[in-house]
Every structure is written in structure tokens, then in C-alpha cells.
Amino acid sequence: MIKPRQKLALMSIISIWVLGTLLLTVATSAFAQNNSQGTNLYSQIQLFSEVLQKLKQNYVTDLSDEELIKAAIIGMLGSTDPHTTYFTASEFKDFTTSTKGAFGGLGIQIDKIGDYVTVVSPIEGTPAYRMGITAGDKIVKVNGESIVGLSTDEAIKRMRGDVGTTVEITISRPGISTPLVFKIIRETIKIKSVPYSFKLSNGTGYLRITQFNENTSTELREALSTLENNGITGLIIDLRYNPGGLLDQAVDTVNEFIGQNRLVVETKGRTENKQLYTRYNTKERNYPIIVLVNEASASASEIFAGSLQDWDKGLVMGKNTFGKGSVQQLIPLSNGNGVKITTSYYYIKSGRCIHKMSNDKLLKGQQLSETELKTEDEKNHKQIYYTANKRRVYGGGGITPDITSEGDFLTLFGAELRRKNVFFNFTVDYMVAHDHKLADNFEINDPIMDEFLTYAKKQDIKYTPADLDSANAYIRNTLKSEMVRKVKGDQEAYKVTITQDKQLMQAIELFDRFHTMKELFDHAASVKKD
């Protein structure tokens, strides 16, 4: 019988031999391609095997082969970029869930920035969104236990749970010295790519795309059909806070506006380059289009916005986009685990590379000075490219809008009211007291406002007259929106919310002045000259 320590030693020898054989095969292949490079790789593999063997033989306690190899793999991938990662079998399964259109949880898009799991954006209509979780929030604890330093996958595991159960998350928010604690009831998160589409009072259509999942192109076609049947004279496509998603869906949605056999994007890498063209013959859409973007529009949403810009089918308005233009390939491994590897970068039709290189450093927690970031932006945006109709567009490292437009600023008082869920809770009580009925011309009058402020004080929310003055319009609008939601649903509530949306109001105003794409492009060119 083999004794436990003999068994451990035998397993170590076998694992080293298997690993060595596997890596030797790789090294031999590399050696055949380049003798000096192959020799160096082989020597480094020998060094790795030697360290592994010495560690197993001499460490003070027994070590797990599986954990050692996993740590080695993670460390190896950690020397690349923040998007190249290793998954266990369960992690690999969880990772694929977000593209399927539904999952259980809180409703936040997260990423690892330095040691912190950070909110990229809350998903509209979810528990996290309703409670005021916002982009930039750092999640430091889940149910009282620190998650600082953990991977996003491990953080997701701790935040997800059975529908109807409660999770407590503690957040560090920039500009606020004390941690914020949220108690959130988990829900089934159903992701609708196009949650809102309707005709505005001036005849313009409005359509919001929140992310690109497997249902996006289908939902877009249905929304466009309804809007066009209602006789829209123009269209606003809102991609703000859209973190991206599936590349094929980005291409198919672009297809709806530029027609068949048009180049949308190229992926260029070390081993393989691909050109992705539109595939379907679609109806010609001649009405003017404005695409709204901001700093949180990333990846597939940047391909969509940049492609409509490149093909002169839409004017891009808002703020420079995030600049996530690297392509990852998800590769299953033989034991059920998986690896996600960055294989190429996105280049849209005009030749612009979407990827902003400094983002990789920031996401890995590296410090960059304001001067370094400014220099990169200036370099990117000095590069001139041309659209299909020879309009000048600028930069790589994200999409540069044709017209820059500043977004709204949420005051600290407003943020505190959202964080403590005061709007939602007050509205529930108010609607119960008023039998869930609202007058057609309902507005938030002074008595309702006073009642709300009294309620807020009971929630230990403190404010000054200046705080109230600066947030007055926001509070009234948000209260009305929440009450309308209870009676008429999300879309009618959203219509109320956007009346305070500065960027959207500026886009709507452009449609009141200009009625063709040429007029919009001419206006954008004149603004840039000024």
C-alpha cells in the first residue's frame, strides 16, 4: 500500500512530468519556429519545473497541486492585460450567463480596478439601479465580509443568491468619506436590450439600447418597425452607459441602418485578422439619426456608434466613449475550466482603433498621471480619418463625438436620497394612501414636496437650504417619475425622467432646427470650426 506521503510525492512527480511534457511540446514547437527563442522558452520551463519541485519537497506544509498550478496560471495571465483571465468550471459557466438575456442578482455591471471590484454601470430597472448604485462605486464588503482583492468572479458569487433573499453590500464612493451600506433584495435580472422606444412630441423617435445581448437585433427591428409605422421624422439612439456585449449583435444592428455587404469592423491580431460585413438586405432609412454616447459607452456600443458615424448614417453626440476595443476569445479547456484571451483589437471602417491603451493600465491598478492621460488623448484625437462621404472624424481610443455635449450633475443631496431608497419608499406609502391613482395632469406640488422632505428627515437625511435649492427640480422630477411608474409602468416613468436629461434635450432641440443628415453634419462642422 502506498503511504499518504509517498502518494503525494508520486502525484507531484506525475504532475511535474505531465506539465513538463505538455510545456516541452509547446517549447519544441516554438524551438522549431525560432531556435534561440525556443531554447530560451525551454530553459524557462525547466526553471518553472525546478521551482515547483523544490516547493513541493521543502515547503513547511503539504501543498495542493491543483492550487499551485492554478496560481501559476493566474500569475502568468496577470502579466498580460486585465481582460485575459482564467476560469474554473463553475466560473466559466457563470461567465457565459450574462449574454443569455436573464440571470439572478442585483443588476450591476462590474470590473476589477486595482484591488477593488468597481461598478461600471447599474442596469436600468434593477434593484441596484433603483437604490442609487452608480458608476465608480467601489464594493468593499458583501454581507460584512471584505472583498477587496478578490476577483470579479468571486465577488459575483458572493453577491448572487436565491431570488427574494437580501444581500448587504458596503460601498466606497469617491467624494464621500464614510462607507455607504445598501441592503438589496435579489431579483431575477431580465435584460431587455431595447427597454424604451417611443415617439416624442416633435415627431422624433427615441430608442434606448442598454447592452448588446443575443436578443438585441430582434428587439431593435421590432422597435424600429413600430416607430416607423407611427411616422417618425428622425431618430435618437441612446447608447449612454451601454457597456457593450456580443460583437455579432453589434454588426447586425448596424446592418439595419447601412444595408448589406458593408464593412463594419476589422479585428487585427498577431495570428488572425477578420473583416466583419453586414449580411442582410434591409430597408433604406433616410430620416436623420443622432446617436448619444458618453464615457461609459464601451465595446460593442462603440462599434455601433462609430460605424454609423463612418457610414454617414448618424451624427454622434455626447462625450468621448470609454475605449474598450480589445477582442477576447473564450476557450474551453479539457477539464471543464476555461480561459479568456485577448487576441486582437477592433478597427472600424474608417481605420480607427477603438482601444484606449491607458485603460488596460488603469484597470490593473497602475497609476497614471493627468499629464500622461492628457498626452494620450491629444495624440489620439489629432489623428484624422474620413467617413464614406469624406467627412473628417478624429481619433482612436474611443469614439470622438461629432458634437460634444455635457451631461447632468447629480448633487450629493440627490445621491443620498437615492442611496437610501427614499424616493422609492416614500412613493410606495404615498400611492397606498391615494389608492394608486394619479390625475392626468399630476405634478409634484408644494404640499407633496413638504411631505417628502419630512419623510426624508425621518430617514436621518440632513440638508441645507442650498442643498434643497440645487436639487429641487431633480427631486420633483424623480418623485413624479416614481409615482407614474407605479400607475403606468416603466416606459411612462422613463418619459418623465428624460425631461430633466440635459444631453437628450439638446439632441431633441437639434431635430427642431435641422431635418436632414446633411443639415446635421453641416451644423456639426460649423460648431467644430467655432
In the set 193, 299, 301, 326, the catalytic residue is: 299
User: Using CA atoms, how far apart are residues 43 and 35, in angstroms rounded to an integer?
Assistant: 12
Q: Where do the domains of the chain lie? A: 4-77, 102-190, 196-405, 412-500
Longest dimension (CA), the chain: 88
State the DSSP code for 502: H
The model carries a pTM of 0.74
Asked if residue 209 lies in contact with residue 193, where contact means CB atoms within 8 angstroms, the answer is yes
Residue ranges of alpha helices (H) inside 345-445 are 357-363, 370-381, 412-419, 422-433
Catalytic: which of 138, 324, 349, 480?
A: 324
Q: Contact 236/229 with Cβ under 8 angstroms?
A: no
Instruction: State yes or no: is 324 an active-site residue.
Output: yes
Question: How high is the pLDDT of residue 431?
Answer: 86
Length of the chain (residues): 530
Cα separations in angstroms, 224 against 236, 256, 350: 11, 9, 26
What is the C-alpha to C-alpha distance for residues 238 and 304, in angstroms, rounded to an integer? 11
Non-local (6+) Cβ contacts of 213 within 8 A are: 98, 99, 100, 101, 191, 193, 245, 246, 249
pLDDT of residue 157: 84
Type of residue at 129: Y
State whether residue 298 is helix, strand or coil: coil
Question: Which helix H or strand E contains 210, and what residues bound it?
Answer: none
**Per-residue pLDDT of the chain in tens (530 residues, 90 and over written 9):** 434 443 333 333 233 333 333 333 333 343 344 455 556 888 888 898 899 899 989 999 998 888 888 888 888 988 888 889 888 888 787 676 555 555 668 988 788 877 889 887 677 778 998 888 876 789 999 999 999 999 888 898 899 888 889 999 999 987 788 899 999 999 987 778 999 999 999 999 999 999 998 899 999 999 999 999 999 999 999 999 999 988 899 999 999 999 999 999 999 998 878 999 999 999 999 999 999 999 999 999 999 999 999 999 999 999 999 999 888 888 889 888 899 999 999 999 999 999 988 888 888 778 888 888 888 888 887 889 999 999 999 877 899 999 999 888 788 899 889 888 788 888 888 888 888 889 888 999 999 999 999 999 998 899 999 999 999 999 999 999 989 988 887 789 899 999 999 999 999 999 999 999 999 999 999 987 65
Known catalytic residue: 299?
yes
Q: Which pLDDT belongs to residue 39?
A: 62
Of the residues 238, 310, 377, 501, which is catalytic? 310
From start to end of 202-350, where are the E strands?
Answer: 204-208, 234-238, 263-269, 273-277, 289-293, 315-318, 326-332, 338-348
Element spanning 483, H or E: helix 465-488
Question: 3.40.50.720, 2.30.42.10, 1.10.10.10, 3.30.110.30: which CATH number matches 102-190?
Answer: 2.30.42.10
Distance from C-alpha of 481 to C-alpha of 492, rounded to nearest angstrom: 8
- Torsion, Cα of 393, 398, 403, 409 (10° steps): -170
Residue at 468: amino acid letter: L
Report helix angle 465-488 to 412-419, nearest 10.
40
Are the C-beta atoms of residues 148 and 113 closer than 8 Å to each other? no
Question: How many Cβ atoms sit within 10 Å of the Cβ of residue 111?
Answer: 16
Strands 108-113 and 180-185: unpaired
Question: Is there a catalytic annotation at residue 470?
Answer: no
CA distance 422 to 401: 36
Q: Which CATH superfamily is domain 196-405 in?
A: 2-enoyl-CoA Hydratase; Chain A, domain 1 (3.90.226.10)
* DSSP secondary structure letter of residue 319: S
Give the Cα separation of 93 and 90 in Å (integer). Answer: 5
